[in-house]
Amino acid sequence: MNKLYQLSIHEAHELLKQRKISSVELTRSALKRIAEVEDKIHACVTITEDSALRQAEEADKHISSGDIAPLTGIPTLVKDVICTQGIRTTCGSKMLENFIPPYNATVIEKLKAQKAVILGKTNMDEFAMGSSTEHSAFFPTHNPWDLSRVPGGSSGGSAAAVATDEAIYALGSDTGGSVRQPAGFCNMIGLKPTYGRVSRFGLVAFASSLDQIGPITKDVPDCALVMSAIAGHDPRDSTSVPYPVPDYSQHLIPDPSGSSPRGRILEGLKIGIPQEYFVEGMQNEVRAALETAIRKLEKLGAEIDWETSLPSTKYALAVYYILAPSEASANLARYDGVKYGFSERGASNVIETTEKTRQFGFGSEVKRRIMLGTYALSAGYYDAYYLKAQKVRTLIKQEFDQAFKKYDALVTPTSPTVAFKLGEKIEDPMQMYLSDVCTQPINIAGVPAISIPAGFASDPSPSLRSGSGQGLPIGMQIIGKPFSEETLLRIAFAYEQATDWHKKRPPL
């Protein structure tokens, strides 16, 4: 067992429980893997080796006393937008380059309550604004399937880290697809929970009505374990919902026929396929992979309706890029060079200090979105843009509500394309924004969705130099009604048992 870092959470848990390995051994293995591949991937902003080993030693003491939870002793990485006490939290920005939070986010408290081991913080697009992790103030992250391509964003560091076994699992945040799209690009599982299901306390805000924290894992059972750990009501988050948290693992139904497609374990579920998500410009390989995956769900017993329609979907991109920048404009107003974070010292007065702090502290994409949001909220344009966008948001939410009266879930691509080249879209914001066209409506409606591996682009051209001989990963998105994460995990697990896509690893 030299490569302990290759284990899943549930595999590592069983070995720890049986005392066949220790948390210190597992943590050292992950740290060794980080040392081996980090210079190629650049997934991490901060590595906390000493504190991780201390946490692992503490976890081993609890295990030896018979006290072990599903995440006890398991090493994880955390997106650098989630506050970690005593560990710098940069949000991928020069503005917070040296910020060390005095408290932990609720999700970190929950991980620590299970004696999980935190290895460090992962790279991201600045303040979670981006789809490629190229907008980090520090360095871009590379896709482990092809180092010349992006890992997705804004949680690209978390997805790339788990794909390369730098951690057993990771946490990300999702405002418009930032957990699911990188998971799709890196052949991982990524879940965006229902808005209000996971506390946002300690998550540095981008767009407060859209943000959610979610797990990125190697398989669906791992995703269920992390969700059970981090979900739940938090009185410190006014949007947190006081619903009981199910044991998500109990909803994963094993296929009685093993991996045989004859097992109809999705019998009784009805799944809709919204046509609006199969957009113009979608890569042929992505469309073909999705159609094959949907037929597999049908063989597993699900009733498929191929003619579902959510007509307001076409407005979702415009709605998102009014609402999200508007909220960002308000949330980022706190970075004024006075209270905390970066401050430009070469100014002659307070006003100039604030102007220069924002000029040099924020990157170009963040400044672009602040300007968009401030414009949309301004007195002369509030009704024309922000108010109208809120009304259309209501229509989008109502269409999802109507669909879920008929269907148990909806299935779409996670992204219309596979991972694109580093630098390919960085100078074309509109093309970059279109990368999230399939994921943004879910955040607008506040419903849950999961991305799971569903194939690889079959194009053998030199542009797909993954080195694996199979091209680049394709993700399938499964969308559910509010607080139906257990249904999404059930469908995802059924598909996972019937396919081998999730077992593929980049040849790094």
pLDDT recorded at residue 257: 63
Q: What is the pLDDT of residue 460?
A: 44
Rounded distance, CA 251 to CA 253, Å? 6
Residue 130 within a domain: yes
Look at residue 464 in the predicted model and tell me its pLDDT: 46
On whether residue 236 sits in a domain, the answer given is: yes
- 32 belongs to the catalytic site: no
| Mean pLDDT of the region 216-243 | 98
> What is residue 280's predicted lDDT score, i.e. its pLDDT?
86
Task: Please write the tens of the pLDDT for every residue from 382-396.
Answer: 999 999 999 999 999
| CATH code for position 445 | 3.90.1300.10
Q: Are residues 235 and 308 in the same domain?
A: no
Q: How do beta strands 169-174 and 212-217 pair?
A: antiparallel
Residue 238 and residue 96 share a domain? yes
Is the same domain home to 229 and 305?
A: no
Distances in Å between the alpha carbon of 31 and those of 25, 27, 83, 97? 10, 6, 21, 23
Known catalytic membership, residue 79:
yes
pLDDT of residue 505 exceeding 70: yes
Q: What is the mean pLDDT of the chain?
A: 95
**Is there a single domain that holds both residue 296 and residue 167?**
no
DSSP string, 300-312: TT-EEEEEE--GG
pLDDT above 70 (res 7)? yes
Q: What are residue 504's phi and psi, to 5 degrees? A: -70, 140
pLDDT in tens, 445-477: 999 999 999 999 975 444 444 445 579 999 999
> Does residue 256 register a pLDDT over 90?
no
Averaged pLDDT for residues 308-315: 97
Q: Point out the catalytic residue in the list 23, 132, 178, 240.
A: 178
Average pLDDT rounded to a whole number, residues 365-373: 97
Tokens representing 54? 């201390």
At residue 364, does pLDDT exceed 80? Answer: yes
Q: What percent of the chain has pLDDT over 90?
A: 90
Residue 260 has pLDDT above 50, yes or no: no
- 44-60 pLDDT, tens digit per residue, is 999 999 999 999 999 99
Residues 6+ apart with CB under 8 A from 339: none
Looking at the fold, whether 406 and 453 belong to one and the same domain comes out as: yes
- 169: pLDDT confidence band, cut at 50, 70 and 90? very high
pLDDT in tens, 286-305: 999 999 999 999 999 999 99
What is the pLDDT, as a whole number, of residue 345? 86
Q: Is residue 92 part of a domain?
A: yes
Q: What is the pLDDT of residues 66-98, one digit of tens each?
A: 999 999 999 999 999 999 999 999 999 999 999
pTM: 0.96
pLDDT at 258: 52
Give the model's pLDDT for residue 407.
Answer: 98
* Candidate list 8, 136, 154, 249, residue with the active-site label: 154
Q: What is the pLDDT of residues 316-333, one digit of tens each?
A: 999 999 999 999 999 999
Q: Which residues contact 501 (CB under 8 A, 6 or more apart)?
A: 187, 452, 453, 454, 455, 456, 473
Domain match, 111 and 182 both: yes
Structural contact between residues 92 and 125, judged by C-beta atoms closer than 8 angstroms: yes
Structure tokens at 108: 């970190």
From the CB of residue 449, how many other CB atoms can be counted at a distance below 10 Å? 30
Residue 238 pLDDT greater than 70, yes or no: yes
Decide if 329 is inside a domain. no
If asked whether residues 245 and 275 sit together in one domain, one would say no
Confidence of residue 263 (pLDDT cuts 50, 70, 90): low
Question: What's the N-to-C CA distance of the chain in angstroms?
Answer: 19
Amino acid 466: pLDDT: 47
Please identify, among 223, 251, 279, the residue that sits at the C-terminal boundary of a domain: 251
pLDDT digits (tens, 9 = 90+) for 102-161: 999 999 999 999 999 999 999 999 999 999 999 999 999 999 999 999 999 999 999 999
Find the domain containing 36 and state its range: 4-251
Q: Is 114 domain-assigned? A: yes
Average pLDDT over residues 261-269: 82
Taking residues 322-346, what's their average pLDDT?
Answer: 93
Residues 106, 235, single domain; the answer is yes
Quick: pLDDT tens for 385-444: 999 999 999 999 999 999 999 999 999 999 999 999 999 999 998 899 889 999 999 999
- Number of helices and strands (H, E) in the chain? 15, 11
297 and 400 housed in the same domain: yes
Q: Is position 81 within any domain?
A: yes
- Rounded mean pLDDT, 303-313: 97
Same domain? 306 vs 225: no
Q: Judge contact between 252 and 490, C-beta under 8 A.
A: yes
User: Could you tell me if residue 193 is inside a domain?
Assistant: yes
213 and 125 in one domain? yes
**Into how many domains does the chain fold?**
2
64 flagged as catalytic:
no
> For residue 132, what are its two tokens?
């490629």
β-bridge mates for residue 173, sequence order: 213
* In-domain check, residue 360: no
Check whether residue 211 and residue 278 sit in a common domain: no
Active-site option among 23, 29, 79, 415: 79
